[in-house]
Structure 1
Amino acid sequence: MPADSAQPLPRLPRVMAGMMRPLPLLPVSLMLSSLSRKLSRDHPGMFRRLGEHGEKRFVLDPTDLPLVLLMDLRGGVPKVTAHRRTPEADTRIAGPLSAFLGMIHGAYDGDALFFSRDLVVEGDTGAALALRNAIDDAELDLATEISALVGPLKAPLKAALGLAETRTGLVLHRVDALQGGW
């Protein structure tokens, strides 16, 4: 939650979401799968921590984007693909992009997001909880992880992400303390 729990979570501006609508899904899927393989190599404990849920399929549905993501953990190598329609999965987690990003980066408490209904879980809630715990323990910083993939474009990407964070209110980097937690 934002520091002031009466304040709603930021939403991705409709213009930005609209610009994403014509994006071809294959390059998005390839980029996301590359990132998930990097996370698997750099944070192997994150996927091991899923235990019995390590072979599940999760739909991540950022409700303010024109696509959904399928994270398929079967086969030992995580694969993330983008879809226009919700594919079959064991668990679906839906909510605004800001909730997902804030939870990943430690700005928002996952339990508080669930109980406030900012995030909605359908299907295997135990798997969703295991995923949330694994992500919490990994203390990810997606800006740093993505920057490591782009080589010489690292500095311009960091600058662009900083500007995007300021303009949208989305949490695009790791923060030190949870906001709105218990």
Structure 2
Amino acid sequence: MFNRLGPWVGSDFVIDPVDMPFALHLRPDPAAPVLRAVSRRALPEHVAYVAGRFLDLLELIDADRDGDALFFSRELEISGNTEAVVSLRNALDDIDGSIAERVAVMHGPPGRAALKVLRHMAKKRRAGKQ
């Protein structure tokens, strides 16, 4: 994954689930990875900013939604260095399986249950749009 990031390894990204009370600071660095919740009033310096609804972002990292489609439908906002965002997306695409599933498993049965509920909510919302 880190090889696909090229010059953006160790760069700071802000991922903003706009319907949640926080943003996420992501630094994909193999030596010292960072993923933490941060206040929108005190965002860290970053090379790129990606914002969208939480369920859309979840489906995006789960490879259930197309990032280009979300961007062109204006459901996903990107600012800063777009090359960095494309590199991050390509790196995420290289990961076998679901990142969301891996995080959920790290939190045991409550994590898996929460992910199941979130996926159900996303599926239900998507069905309502059609």
Taking structure 2 as the reference length, the TM-score comes to 0.79
Q: Would the aligned equivalents of 2:27 and 2:34 in 1 still touch at CA under 8 Å?
A: yes
CA distance in 2, matches of 1:159, 1:67: 22
CA distance in 1, matches of 2:38, 2:123: 22
CA distance in 2, matches of 1:74, 1:141: 19
Offset of 1:87 from its aligned partner? 2.4
Alignment partner of 1:121 is 2:78: yes
Taking structure 1 as the reference length, the TM-score comes to 0.59
Count of equivalent residues: 122
Offset of 1:170 from its aligned partner? 5.9
Offset of 1:160 from its aligned partner? 4.2
Alignment of 1:58-73 (within 5 A): 58-73=13-28
The answer to which of 48-57 and 141-150 deviates more is 141-150
Please, which of 143, 146, 149 is the counterpart of residue 106 of structure 2?
Answer: 149
Q: What stretches of structure 2 of length at least 5 have no aligned partner? A: 125-130
Runs (4+) of structure 1 exceeding 4 A deviation are: none
Q: For the structure 1 residues 75 and 49, does the alpha-carbon distance in structure 2 shift closer, same or farther, using more than 3 Å as the test?
A: closer
Quick check: which has more Rg, 1 or 2? 1
Please, which of 90, 108, 122 is the counterpart of residue 169 of structure 1?
Answer: 122
Identity over aligned pairs, percent: 37
Larger fraction in strand: 2
Alignment partner of 1:90 is 2:90: no
Q: Which has the higher contact order (CA 8 A, sep 6+)?
A: 1
Match of 2:127 in 1: none
CA distance in 2, matches of 1:92, 1:71: 10
Offset of 1:67 from its aligned partner? 0.2
